[in-house]
Amino acid sequence: MLVLVAPGQGAQTPGFLTPWLELPGAADRVAAWSDAIGLDLVHYGTQADADAIRDTAVAQPLLVAAGLLSAAALGDISEIAPGAVAGHSVGEITAAAFAGVLDDTSALGLVRKRGLAMADAAAVTETGMAALLGGDPETSVAHLEKLGLTPANINGAGQIVAAGTLEQLAALNDDKPEGVRKVVALKVAGAFHTHHMAPAVETLAKAAGQLSPADPKVPYVSNKDGRTVSSGAEVLERLVGQVANPVRWDLCMETFKELGVTAIVEVCPGGTLTGLAKRALPGVRNLALKTPDDLDAARELIAEHAGA
């Protein structure tokens, strides 16, 4: 059984969209999306530097656009025929489009408002996120809470992401949980999935209220608790609430396992989620779409595992 997944913020790198725009019709498609949301996705995906695409208001629409574009290069979702779809953090909006809950334009409009709202919330206090490498999850969570930090992403495979103020993160660097080898700052501009994002929830709720979601055509696995969601309205409700609540990617991977996953394809800019799956789901085939050069191998994998 194939699972199609979409990465979250921090996966972007300067110029990563460039080779994808060389595919037939891709540049026109992205230009139309840019006009629809009032953001030059072509510029940010090809010419902007790392600091420019680190901006939450830019990074989030850029990631969703890249995910949609790379998936479309594989074929229609009915041809890909995943047994389930999921996304990490902002990737959940990409996955909602894969599942047919939102059309592409609606997904990009929603993520544009999400990015702006979260950027505004992040501007209130200097905050950030950092990944803990190694250590026992229960020990690490307790230690983070002692420092006033939130375990914002519990990613499985031994990885937890802490979020909070820069002062709290500095204290974490000086006082790591037992067994943690390293603390790595992430390329994000705020403490996402924490109480610091509460101001963005109301804004996003208003934006979601203007949409008419369809029920998922394929099982949609939610970051909230790893459960599959069969109602489009509930998908949107969860997307709104997730902004200020931890991502449980570990539970999503548990659900993939329960569903009988045999292969995972991660859309562009792939690599993060397949890396986690290699450690947490041994024996499952993984492929990350990084450039169009990966498309043929992805199609072969899909042909072997879709509908299985």
Closest by CA to 144, choosing from 128, 132, 162, 158, is 162
CB 77 within 8 A of CB 217: yes
Residue 187 tokens read as: 């390329």
159-165 sheet: strands from edge to edge: 150-156, 159-165, 127-134, 180-185
Residue 181 — φ and ψ, nearest 5°?
-80, -40
Residue 295 tokens read as: 């498309």
Active site residue 193: yes
Q: Which of 193, 196, 222, 305 is catalytic?
A: 193
Q: Which of 70, 89, 140, 222 is catalytic?
A: 89
Active site residue 143: no
Task: For 167-219, give the DSSP string.
Answer: HHHHHHHHSPPTTEEEEEE-S-SS-TTSGGGHHHHHHHHHHHHT--PPPPSS-
- Residues classed as catalytic: 89, 193
